[in-house]
Each structure stands twice: as structure tokens, then as C-alpha cells.
Structure 1
């Protein structure tokens, strides 16, 4: 577990943990050595001159005082290091998650990452603050005491030493027996977390369907499964606890019998036997604590393993010698992209000259949004190349690439904060005048004027306090403020009312003026503004050309245009 902990922490954070482990080990050794002074104390007290015990008692008190200071310092170091690492690991996890490909975030990832970033990371890092010191003490202190016992009588020391492999075997077997139950409980825990998130997100659908009084069956099933798994995990721990207790008590009984035998035979004195038994009793306490520590360590180790798996997931590789794009043009050169077993983009080649507009249309699932994702390098292609300014996006540094691209999605997510803070995400160092200008161009100033609080108005989590059109205006203002030479638009007006659609269109026109634009559109009147249109279906380009040219051909695009502009009447 310790090697995994160091691997998860990385070189930067592993160093202070090693120092803390060394300090805790020294503390445990001093604790064990302090008990060695009990032997001369008991010899003197049970001997002919009890007064001779006084200097040994003083030495014992001094040793205990040194141990107390070391224990305080090591525990304080553990808490401080644990707190620092918790903050640092949140930063490291957040940075790593931000660099993982978008395709990694599957449906189950929301629940898994939410549990990992919350309770999971806290449990994993609690090893340093709360479990490391007891674990080191439980392992090192008994071994030190056994070494002290061996120095006074090798037979008693050897008998005590034989307990170590037996205790270790009991712990290993108990851990293996509980591993399956612990893994099942963790899986059920993550599934329940995902179902809770799903239940909260599904509230509009459930209420629209008149199911507000019903319980969500999948959530109930996952919670019942978690309850059963927790019960099995608890019951599976009992054999290990009982086995460890019986093992420790059995070896203490063996030492007691061996000591009595040696004392009756005159090989050692009664005071020595008593001292050795006191040391053996002191060994028992930390050994018995291993049963409780074992369960907590298994839970922490499982979270460490999940954290390790996430941190070892390879992000999209960064170029060693990044190149800079020479212009604002775009090119797809025989691009193929697969998602699992499905080919989403199939040998697509097209180009968008700098300052021109390309519209991508087609039925749902044709791969339109995937084209935008490949330009922004949310994924890497499986074959071919996507080029920005003549350079392969894989050869451009991520920051340099994203600085040249502004993306406006259909579903806008706003962070819990003020309107101004969300607009400034486009360029945090922008002046107030630049922020206001971008807002005015996006017609966001109309929204700000009617909101209580104005620019300081809070948008809520995800922008829930704003309408869809208002959120879209914030997104456009953010893109305007970024002032990137390439703009990607993903069906930005498909779900807006006429008033907001008109405002958003005005903002988009200001946004795309003089820039290279790739737009995915369902509302066909948006396509008329494009210099060139690509009709995509099944991941392949079926037709391409100017809007009027494609209509004259009377092919797939013309049929799609006719269907979109003259929808069939209901009941037809």
C-alpha cells in the first residue's frame, strides 16, 4: 500500500511523506526501547534491594517523556502533511481531469468522479493523518519489543518472534476474504451515487410524467444493493477479527507457559519472567489494533487504487516541440475517428479557408458535432490529420490551440458565480470596458439591466437562474471577449424562442465577422450565411458546395432543406 501511496502522490508530495514515515518509525522504536527499561526496574523491585530501582525508574520516565515528545511531533507532522497533501491532490486531480480526453467521461464517470473527488480522496489522504502512525506503531513497536525480549532471554524472544508470521498470515487471509465484499460494496456505492445524480437530473422528466409521488425504481434498487453489500462486508470482517484475537491470546498463553517452565527449572528468575510477560502484554495491544486498522486500510487502499487508476490514465499527448499555426484556415485530411466499435467519422476530407464560413448539416448521429470536437482536439483521430493553420492539432500545444478557438455549444454550462465572472472566463485579464463591449455586442447588456444586482447577479449552478437564451448570450459574450480567430458553433439556436433567437443571431454575426467559422445547424436559415455547406451522413460527406448550388442539384441536401423549411403537417 505504501508504494501505491507514493506513486499516487508523485515525486513532489512523496518526499514529505517519507520524512513523516521515518519520524513515525523512530517514535515507534523509542516506544519499544522504553519498555526495555521495565526489566531492570522489575528486577530491582523484586530483588534484595528495591531501592536500586530508583535510577531505572528515572530513566524509564525520561524515555517515556522523549517518546511523548516524538509522538506529538510525528502526529503533528502527519496532520500537517495530510492537510497539505489533500489540498495538493485536489489540484493534481483537477489538473489531470482537465487534460483527459472528453471521450473518457462516459455515463458512469459522473458518479465515480464525484465519489472519488469527495469522500474517496478524503479517505485516501486520511491514511497519512490518521492511519499511518497507528500502522507504523502496530508493526514496529512489537518487533522492537521482541528484539528487547531476545536480548534478555533468547528462548522467550524466539517464541514471541514466531507470532509474527502467524499474525501476518491471519491478516493476509482475512484481507483476501474481505476483498470481494469490499469491492462489491465500493461498486454499489459508486452505482448508488450515479443513480442519485441521475434521479436529481431526471426530476423534470419525472414530474412531467406525473411520477412525483412514485419512488425511482433504479435508485431504490441501487440503495438496497448497497445496504446488502455493506452487511456482507461487515459480516466478512468477523472471522478476521476473531482469528487475530485468538492468535494473539494463544501466543501470550504460550509465552506464559514457557516462562513458568523456565522459572520452575531455575533457568531464569521470577522477576525476569514477569518483565518479559509485561513486554509481551504490551505487544498484544498494537497487534490487536491491526484488525480495526486492516478494515480502514483496505477501504483507503481501494480509494487509492481508484485514484491511481485515474491518475495513470493517459491524457492526450503534448508535442515535444510545439509548432504555431501560420493562419486561421482549417483542414481535414482523410480523417477517420472511431468511438468504441462504431466509426463516427469515415475518411472525411475538407478545408475551410481563413475567414470563410462552413456549415455542417445532416441527420442526427451523422457526426456533425464530432467534427467540431476534433478541431478543438477533444479527441485524437484514428487516421488522417486535422490541421489548424497548416499544422496538425497534435503538434500544437493545448494552450496555443485553445487560444485560437472559441466554442459556443448548444447546451451552455455556467459556473456558480456572477454574470461578469462567467463572461471573464473568455479572457480573465480583460478590462471592464472590454467586458462591457463584448456583452453589448452579444446583447447581454439587455439581460444585465433587468436582473436585480446587474453584473453582480448570481447565475446559479449551471446557470439555472437564467433562461436558455440568456445563458447563450453569456456564452457568446465570453467567446467575443476571447477574440479567437476560429469560431465553432454547435446548434446554438436550436432550442430558443424567437426573441432570444434574434438576439443570439445578432451576437453570432458580430462574433463570426472576419473569422474562420464552422457551424453545425439544424435551423436551415442559418446555413444561408455560410460560404460553403457540407451534408454529412453516417460519418461521410454525401454532398458539398454552396447553398444555392446544392439546391439546384436536387440531391440529399435539397431534400433535407425542403423537409426543414416545409415540415409535414401533423397527422400526415
Structure 2
């Protein structure tokens, strides 16, 4: 757990953490030493030796003073580290996230990240503020006391040492079980959080089909599973905590029995036994506190591990300086192999050249690897084999900033920030002039949207662009690409599922982009495919055909079948409840 704390705090605060742990350890040990002073003091007072008792009280007073100093220092350093976590952890997480490959951000990982960045952050602060101190003192203070007891009477000390492994084993068993149940509760919580977000996003579909009153089964099931996991944790936790706590009191009972037997056998002075038993009683309190907190600490350790896992993720390797761009706008893939799982290749030996200033349409059935291919060009992932070149340079030899300066992506699922319409377009080129922004908006048909919105360019688009239609969001995404003026534009099904008006604006923007940039289009629209300079057909992650529409129509049966299927699909419409061709 200490290693995870070091990763979370970062190297800048590693020294602070070590000093905190040293003061905490000193505080715990000094408490045990102060407790040990009670034995000679009590024995001397009962025997009436006031001079000896006075010396003992002086030593006790000095030790208590050191305890107070150590307690203050460890408490202040603990709160200081907790404050460091609250004020810097999110910044450090952000700095780490921007160094990770874009392909790392799956929906599952984003859900986990959100949970760790909120609940995990508070748990780390709780470790410093409330958990480490009672657990460390609950172990080190009794250990110090046990060593002192061994010095005063080896038989009683040996009894404590023999009981220690049993106490440890029961505590470890209890804490490990609690940690496992917490992992199940956490997994159920992440699943429920993901389903809540999904439920919110699916509101238009659910309401369209009247699925709001009876609930959303995936969300209901996830909530039920979360409640079940929470109930199982409560049912499993308390009995095990009771067993762990009971072991401490049983150990003290065994020590009491041994002491009484020694006293009855006249093997120990009764006065000394009373003093030693008073010392032994000091063992029970901290150990019981440690037992009560050990389960919470193990749960906290799980949160720390999940946070540390994020910092353990290898960053995207980047060179100190980018390779020179020798062929702006060109893209070349050479025998590229890539798989999301080691045992299955999503892209299998693809070789492809896209000359600068041309338009390439990538087609193929669902799951053939079209989107994955575009993501490899943008370096969402690094290839397992082969090479991807952009502008004549291997993408692994370019910094992320230099690579993305060459590419403007236009995805089917457009995300807009909760800001104004103009601010969302300016993301393409923050330093662009107002004139350039207006021109890009005009070419993408956004000016028509601006005219009918009450606040014009200052109109808020809502979180995710919820105030606009899907086609309008797509136009804004194209305006970003036009404003960026990148040598390469990648469009992933950008014209799919658009109405006639939005498709007209998108096609107009594509013509403008084609005149100035290289276009790589994952396409389904027949007009887009036909107009491409090069058509690449994928199946099962491999290129099965490449050429112009004319070439493939006459020489490639699979492409001809694909084309006929698309033509038939385009000819269907719904009228009077019947499908007509």
C-alpha cells in the first residue's frame, strides 16, 4: 500500500510521505515505551518505594512529552498529505491521462476512472486522516509493550508472543475477506454507474417506444446487483470483525490465566503481577482498534491500487523531436497487424497507400476493421506489426501534437462541449480569425443554424451538443475540420443516418475539403464511394479489393455484390405501412 501511496502522491511528495511514516512509527513505539514505565512506577508505589517511583514518574513524564511531540508531528504531516491529495490529485490524473493512448479510453475504463477520481480521492485522504494512525499504533504500540513484558517476565512475554501469530492470522483472514467483498461491491457500483449513464443517453429511444414507466431492465438489474453485493458485504463483514476482535480478548484472557497460575505457584510476586497485568491490559485496546480498522484499511488499499493502476499505465511513447514531414497529406500502411486481444487480429497484414490530395473510401461489412484502421492512422493504438506513416514519417516517430496537426477527424458520433456554438467550432483552430470561423461555418452550412438560434454565435449547445440535432452536430464537426485546414481529413461514417438537408450541407463541405486535403472516408453512401479516387474493401481485417469504382465493378465479384446490395437498400422506402421497392 505504501508503494501505491508513493505513486499517487508523486515523487515530489515521496520525502513527505517517508517523514510522516517515521513520525507515525515513533509515535506508536513511544506510546508502548510510556506504557512500559507504568510497571516500575506501580510496583514501587505499592511497595512504598517513593524515591524509585519518583524516578519512574520522571522517565514517564519525559516519554509522554516525546509522545505528544511525535503525535503532533505525525498528525500535522498526515493532514498535510491529505490536503496535497485533495488539491493536486486531479491535476496529476489529468496530466497522466493526456499521456495515455486514446485507445485506452474504453467506456469501461472511463466509468472506472470516474469512480476512482471521486470516491478514490476521498478514500486516500481518509487513509491519512483516520485510518493509518489507529492501525499502525494498534500494531506497533502492543508490539513494543509485548517486548517490554518479555523483559519484565519472560513467561508472560512468551505467552503474548505465542498469541501474536493467532491474532495476526485471524486479522489477516478477516481483512482479506472484507477486501474481496469490497471488490465485488465496487464492480457492481461501476456497472450501475455505467447503466445510469446509458439510461440517460438512451432517453430519446426509450421514450419513443414508451419504455419509461416500466423501467430499464439493464439498469434495474445493475441496481439490484449492487444492493445484493452491499448486503452480502454487511452480512460477511461483521461476523469476521467480531472474530478478529474476540481473538484479542482471548489472548488477554490466556495471559491472565498464566499470570494467576504463576502467582498460585509463587513463581511471581503478586505486586509485580498486578503491575504486569496492568501493562498487558494496555495491549487489548490498540489491538481491538486495529482489528476494527483493518477491514476499512484493506478496502482503502483496494481504492489506492485502482488509482495507482492508472499511474502504472505506460504512456504513449513519444520522441523528443518529431521526424521531418517529407510528403504532407500522404498516408501509407505497410503490412500492418493489430489486435485488441493478443489471440485475435483485428487488422491482419494490411498494406495501403493514400497519395496526397486524393480521396480514399474504405468499405466493408460491420466488424471488418474499418474504424480500427482509421484509429491506427491517428495512433489511438500502436500496431503489433508493420508500420503506419503519415506525411512520410512513421507515426511512432512523431509527437502527438505534430501527428494530430496533420489530421482532422470527423466522427459519426460527434461530441460538443457545453459551450457556445462558436467556441465549439474554434476548437479546430483556437487562434483563427473571426472571418475564418465564419467562412468555415458557411462552407459547412452552420451559418444557417446560427441565423435561426436566438443568441446566434453565442448560443449554448448544451452538454454533448444536446441542444442540436445529430445532423447539426455533424455540420459543426465539419466546420472544425475546415477551420483546422489539416493536410489529412478522416471521416468515419460522417454521412450515415443524415436527413436530406444535413446530407446536402455535409456533401458541400466534403467537396471543399477534397479540394484542399487528403480524404480518408469510411463510407456507406453510394455517391461518396463512387466519387472516390481509390476504394479499399476490407473483410476480416484484410484488404480483399482495391481500385476505382469502374475497376472493381468489372473485376471484383465481392465489390459488385456489395454495390448491388447497397443499391437495393437505397431503393426501399416505407409507404402506407408497406415496404415498396
TM-score (norm 1): 0.87
Q: Distance in 1 between matches of 2:221 and 2:336?
A: 44
**Are residue 348 (structure 1) and residue 364 (structure 2) matched?**
no
**CA offset at residue 78 of structure 1?**
1.5
Please say if residues 79 and 130 of structure 1, whose CA atoms lie closer than 8 Å, have aligned partners that are also in contact. no
- Alpha-carbon distance change, 127 to 426 in structure 1, aligned in 2, over 3 angstroms: farther
**CA offset at residue 288 of structure 1?**
0.5
In structure 2, the residue matched to 1:248 is 248
Any idea what the Cα deviations from partners look like across 1:102-134, whole Å, max 9, x if unmatched?
Answer: 555556445433333332453355323332222
Q: Unaligned regions of 5+ residues in structure 1, if any?
A: none
**CA offset at residue 408 of structure 1?**
0.9
**Are residue 333 (structure 1) and residue 334 (structure 2) matched?**
yes
Q: Distance in 1 between matches of 2:278 and 2:450?
A: 76
- SS of the counterpart of 1:513? helix
**CA offset at residue 192 of structure 1?**
2.9
Aligned residue runs from structure 1 range 507-526, under 5 A: 507-526=509-528
- Alpha-carbon distance change, 538 to 154 in structure 1, aligned in 2, over 3 angstroms: closer
Q: Distance in 1 between matches of 2:427 and 2:331?
A: 25
Q: Distance in 2 between matches of 1:428 and 1:137?
A: 55
Any idea what the Cα deviations from partners look like across 1:240-276, whole Å, max 9, x if unmatched?
Answer: 3233333222222233344445556666655543333
Any idea what the Cα deviations from partners look like across 1:367-408, whole Å, max 9, x if unmatched?
Answer: 322221121112333433221122222232333212211111
In structure 2, the residue matched to 1:473 is 475
Any idea what the Cα deviations from partners look like across 1:78-102, whole Å, max 9, x if unmatched?
Answer: 2221332355443444444445455
Please say if residues 332 and 350 of structure 1, whose CA atoms lie closer than 8 Å, have aligned partners that are also in contact. yes
Structure 1, 103-112 or 235-244: larger mean CA deviation: 103-112
**CA offset at residue 435 of structure 1?**
4.8
**CA offset at residue 74 of structure 1?**
1.6
In structure 2, the residue matched to 1:169 is 169
- Alpha-carbon distance change, 289 to 500 in structure 1, aligned in 2, over 3 angstroms: same
**CA offset at residue 453 of structure 1?**
4.6
In structure 2, the residue matched to 1:128 is 128
In structure 1, the residue matched to 2:30 is 30
**CA offset at residue 168 of structure 1?**
0.8
In structure 1, the residue matched to 2:369 is 367
- Alpha-carbon distance change, 137 to 420 in structure 1, aligned in 2, over 3 angstroms: farther
- SS of the counterpart of 1:46? helix
Q: Distance in 2 between matches of 1:237 and 1:304?
A: 20
**CA offset at residue 320 of structure 1?**
7.3
Aligned residue runs from structure 1 range 373-452, under 5 A: 373-428=375-430, 435=437, 438-452=440-454
Q: Distance in 1 between matches of 2:502 and 2:288?
A: 68
Please say if residues 476 and 511 of structure 1, whose CA atoms lie closer than 8 Å, have aligned partners that are also in contact. no
Please say if residues 363 and 536 of structure 2, whose CA atoms lie closer than 8 Å, have aligned partners that are also in contact. yes
The alignment of Structure 1 onto Structure 2 pairs a total of residues equal to: 572
Q: Distance in 2 between matches of 1:41 and 1:445?
A: 89
Any idea what the Cα deviations from partners look like across 1:34-91, whole Å, max 9, x if unmatched?
Answer: 2234334434543436697567657645644543343233223222213323554434
Any idea what the Cα deviations from partners look like across 1:275-303, whole Å, max 9, x if unmatched?
Answer: 33332222211101122212112212223
- Alpha-carbon distance change, 428 to 531 in structure 1, aligned in 2, over 3 angstroms: same
In structure 1, the residue matched to 2:534 is 532
In structure 2, the residue matched to 1:193 is 193
TM-score (norm 2): 0.85
- Alpha-carbon distance change, 275 to 210 in structure 1, aligned in 2, over 3 angstroms: same
Please say if residues 357 and 518 of structure 1, whose CA atoms lie closer than 8 Å, have aligned partners that are also in contact. yes
Q: Distance in 1 between matches of 2:60 and 2:319?
A: 63
- SS of the counterpart of 1:426? coil
**Are residue 458 (structure 1) and residue 456 (structure 2) matched?**
no
